[in-house]
Amino acid sequence: MARTKNSEIEIAGVKLKPGERRQLHLDLARLYDHTRLDLDIEVIHGRQAGPTLLVCAAIHGDELNGVEICRQLLKHKSLNRIKGTLIVVPVVNIFGFIHRTRYLPDRRDLNRCFPGTEKGSLGGRIAHLFRTGVLNHCTHAIDLHTGAIHRSNLPQIRTNLSNESAAKMANAFGAPLVIDSKLRDGSLRQCADEAGIPLILYEAGEALRFDENAIKGGLRGIISVMRELEMLPALKRKKTLAPASANSSSWVRAESDGVFRSLVQLGERVSRNQIMGVVASPFGREEVEITSPYAGIIIGQNNIPLVNEGDALYHLARFDASTRAIERVEQITEEIDAVPLPEDQSIGLS
């Protein structure tokens, strides 16, 4: 990227000059007692021109890994050399974050409220504010998520692989898996796609829990994407492994009510018709086996033993060659595990 001086940018009514770093606040809402709730935004505006990357977390308020990834990202020393602009929003759904819940006070899912409206529901108003006040300033975006409560997700990227820019970001991120995922109505990903902003979604871990490897992999991935976008200097080392790419994925559900016991683990390869778990009556000998409908890799798993008929138990990804895919998943996971995460945030990347 040519050495072109960056231009002034205005976000949340504040003008930032090239080389300036500021914490900004958008007036989001009020609690019942009129305590003010702000959308906190950290902006690092490089001296040289380049992309404007949004990194956001906790659109679902109980998904905490992304909040910690943002915190560690903002401490990363390499950001002193950034080209372009980095916009970080550690907590989008402040209501859910305060109450340790996925949803807004009216039980709406904020990630189904985009693009939003000025005069609609609370979710619609927050989505509108985030879109107009933050997203519309960006050229690229990374949205950080975890599994839902009592569900764990193997680290993975979900995106629209038909979008060439998003596909490049997904491969550069370096998560073990990339899933070509359909756009969901009302999601931030759909909103960004319609605005021509390539967005990748990082899923890893479980709600209301920190997962150190998921956090480490997320931080590593964001820095790698910034290098791919030439916002940070490229590394002089061999190219990292390309992630395994899934053709499709689906949930395997409980066929009866009872106590669920899993016989396989997250990230494990299963063959067609393999028994993955058992749902049994707590008062008798009746057992129902949970079998795999096809060969694949378990990328999501229910962690609570008490289930009802229809509950999602395993999220299974399908691959052209699942043996090669699991080898790739294991190699990348081991590579992430082997990288130390010292206090100075160097993580072997800069």
pLDDT tens per residue, range 204-259: 999 999 999 999 999 999 999 999 999 999 887 656 667 878 878 899 999 999 99
Cβ of 309: how many Cβ atoms within 10 Å? 12
pLDDT tens by residue, 325-334: 666 666 666 6
Q: pLDDT value at position 343?
A: 41
* Judgement on whether residues 227 and 258 belong to the same structural domain of the protein: no
Domain limit, last residue, from 243, 274, 303: 243
In this prediction, residues 305-315 reach a mean pLDDT of 96
Cite the beta strand spans of 161-280 per DSSP E. Answer: 177-180, 199-205, 244-246, 248-253, 258-262, 269-270, 275-280
Q: Does residue 339 have a pLDDT over 90?
A: no
Question: How many domains, in total, are found in the chain?
Answer: 2
* Judgement on whether residues 183 and 299 belong to the same structural domain of the protein: no
Q: Let me know if 18 is exposed, middle or buried by CB neighbors in 10 A (0-12, 13-18, 19+).
A: middle
* Judgement on whether residues 15 and 156 belong to the same structural domain of the protein: yes
Mean pLDDT of the chain: 90
Q: What is the CATH number of the domain that holds 303?
A: 2.40.50.100
Integer Cα distance of 64 and 60 in angstroms: 9
* Judgement on whether residues 54 and 76 belong to the same structural domain of the protein: yes
Describe the chain by its helix, strand, coil percentages, rounded to 5: 25, 30, 40
SS3 8: coil
Q: Which residue has the higher pLDDT, 245 or 261?
A: 261
* Judgement on whether residues 120 and 159 belong to the same structural domain of the protein: yes
Kindly list the distances between the CA atom of residue 15 and the CA atoms of 27, 28, 41, 85, 327, in Å, as whole numbers in the listed order.
17, 20, 14, 13, 49
Q: Using an 8 Å Cβ cutoff, are 255 and 279 in contact?
A: yes
* Judgement on whether residues 127 and 28 belong to the same structural domain of the protein: yes
SS3 221: helix
Range(s) of the domain holding residue 221 = 9-243
